[in-house]
Chains A and B, each alone.
Chain A
Amino acid sequence: MKQLQLIGFLLSAALFGVVASCQSGGSEVVTPAPVPGKPDMKPPVVYQTTPYPWKKPTNFPDPVYNFANNPLTLEGVALGRTLFYDDMLSVNGTVSCAFCHQQPAAFAHPDHALSHGVNDKIGTRNNLGLQNLAFYKNFFWDGGVADLDLLPIAPIENPVEMAHSMPNLLNAVRQSAKYRPLFQSAFGSDSVTTARFLKSLSQFMLTMVSANSRYDKHARKEAGGQLTSDELAGLNLFQQKCSSCHAGELFTDQSFRNNGLSRVLNQDVGRYGITLRTEDKFKFKVPSLRNVARTPPYMHDGRFWTLNDVLNHYTTMQEVPELDPVLRQNGKPGVLLTDPEKQQIIAFLNTLTDTAYIADRQFSAPN
């Protein structure tokens, strides 16, 4: 009996060994071929990153950005911040992202109607301030880029902005002694790939959340959220007259609309240039109004220098065929507002300035 057990045991052990050897032989055959250019899959160097504690403001909608594909780390954010402030991102080393996106102006470009690039080249549109980028479905006035990770390539390669080429730039970053340790600590090796470069820039930009204006504190019923009677009247008027487009806590519904700007001097087709749909001609993204008092001039071509000018446009606009229906009341273009009402709306818009964001050192140039 004992011997029978031994036989059984020996048999099963032998069979198991045969089956196991079969499997290991088979697995070699189905190993997929490596993808050319894919970041190497060697065992990672031992390194330790610290997760960045990104938080959605309680009064905000859910973010659009897919954080699962790019988990934020303090090290990744630090690398992105260094890149954001680095002049080497432009072809002649004179223009960084921060050149046109300045913190005191909520990362817009003050005193510039149109974007200003290398060798004093001038673009065709007014740059937008940067904030709350995790919440946007697409970027630029025409919504041309829908993925934050792909966004930086556009200004870097635009001949009237940074005028660089990505392969040359990535090679320069590879050769930079400054960046080797930054990539090492963010990603575990100093290999500079397209994805790492772009995702670290995204990481920094995703941390740029602005949600601490006086209005936000009012909305969240926090201390410091007191609004004056004029500001409250302005908020009320804003909700009646402006919030069908500048909707929600982002102060934009992210749609593309025509707001009745004269085309005598500027025939920019806007969203049409991306979609080629006739109905998108002369439409532009409804911009967020957060920090709006800090980001003059206004409109896609920077034609208005004050908020007063903007509101005057809405009350005096002339008919254009593509005008958004919401801006046409009883067959007439424009929004009805008295001068005192305009001042109340401006008083309210000023409560959207987030002074903590503008002063926050985690977003300023690294030492």
Chain B
Amino acid sequence: MRRLFLSLSLLTAALLAGFLACNTNDPEAARPPAKFGLDFSNVVGTQPLQLGTVAYKNASGESFTPTNFNYFVSNIRLIRTDGSAYVVPQDSSYFLIRQTDPATQKITLNNVPEGSYKAVSFVLGVDSLRSTADISKRTGALDPAVDHTGANGMYWSWNSGYIFMKLEGTSPSAPRDATGRGNFRYHIGYFGGRDTKTINNLKTITVSFGADVAQVDPFRQPAVQIQADVLTIFDGTTPISIKAYPEVMISPFSATVAKNYAGMFSYKGLKTAVTD
């Protein structure tokens, strides 16, 4: 009887220890996964970007009215205050920002590890590995069979390459078409080539949060405000005039446009949604 009591108490103790160990080992299990937001807002200088209605002016003194503006954001890394990085899983790291679709301008990263973050980096475009991946790995925004025929088109079927950045619009400085409209079109792609080396217009962009720290836990969801300034495409490292370059697509000059747009992003603040 005493032996039986001893064995029962040992068993209870073991089970209790087991449950305690389970709880202390895995505190996350009880906490909901944390999220992180990246909110992109597109502007032209000091004004918000509006398509088709507002005439803006570049540093060359040219008036222009954007009609379309899209770009790919991929390979996102969140950089912690200690310099280490959380790399967003490859299959969940491709986003197409479209000016015509506000929903695409707010990226939500799920299952982000708790911690303190000081910067974000991403690739503007679609990296060479994904640009040459099997068709089954090209889903969502990367699906070459989503609408790529009109203004939405971000894929060149004849060279099987993605367009990283597309800016289209009208300008009196551009040559007039049959309807009398002056059109400019910048379609920038080129990932470096599959078997022959080509231009590589992929740009890795790092946006630092300055003195701010984005604190991630299940109860605080930070959303970094990132601004993309269309004006930088014309007035960046190398000034580009619409009159001289009304169309830039498949040309070595695309590298100059890419160099300019690499500088178009800036940090505009942190919004944190607090829940309990």
Contacts and interface: CB of A to CB of B under 8 A. Distances in A.
Given A165-B149, A194-B135, A158 B143 contact: no
Contact of A25 (B15, B29, B110): B29
Nearest to B147: A167
Contacts of A37: 139-140, 143
B251 A276 contact: yes
B269 interface: no
A277 B199 CA distance: 9
Contacts of A25: 22, 26, 29
Contacts of A280: 196
B7 A6 contact: yes
A83 B147 CA distance: 20
B14 interface: yes
Interface string A20-46: 011001101100110111110000000
Interface stretch (B42-50, B59-67, B156-164, B214-222): B156-164
Contacts, number: 146
B114 to A, nearest CB: 13
A317 interface: no
Interface in B101-157: 110-111, 132, 134-136, 138-140, 143-149, 155, 157
A194 B14 contact: no
A145 B135 contact: no
A264 interface: no
B91 interface: yes
A276 B134 CA distance: 25
A39 B140 CA distance: 11
Contacts of A276: 190, 198-199, 250-252
Contact of A10 (B11, B19, B135, B199): B11
Given A147-B132, A197-B145, A138 B195 contact: yes
Question: For chain A, which range describes its interface: under 10, 10 to 19, 20 to 34, or 35 or more residues?
Answer: 35 or more
Contacts of A145: 157-160
Interface in B49-92: 89, 91-92
Contacts of B3: 3
A21 B21 CA distance: 12
Interface in B26-48: 26, 28-29, 33
A35 B139 contact: yes
A147 B137 CA distance: 13
Nearest to B18: A18
Contacts of A138: 194-195
A145 B91 CA distance: 24
A121 to B, nearest CB: 15
B107 to A, nearest CB: 12
Nearest to B134: A69
10 contacts: A7-B7, A18-B19, A144-B158, A147-B135, A153-B157, A167-B145, A195-B138, A274-B159, A277-B196, A277-B197
Interface of B: 3-4, 6-7, 10-11, 14-15, 18-19, 21-22, 25-26, 28-29, 33, 89, 91-92, 110-111, 132, 134-136, 138-140, 143-149, 155, 157-160, 190, 193-199, 250-252
Given A153-B155, A158-B157, A194-B145, 14 more contacts: A6-B7, A18-B19, A18-B21, A33-B110, A35-B92, A153-B144, A153-B157, A154-B160, A157-B149, A165-B147, A165-B149, A166-B144, A167-B145, A277-B198
Closest 4 CB pairs of A and B: A18-B18, A166-B145, A194-B145, A37-B139
Interface of A: 3, 6-7, 10-11, 14-15, 17-19, 21-22, 25-26, 28-29, 32-33, 35-39, 66, 69, 137-138, 140, 144-147, 149-150, 153-154, 156-158, 165-167, 170, 194-195, 197-199, 273-277, 280
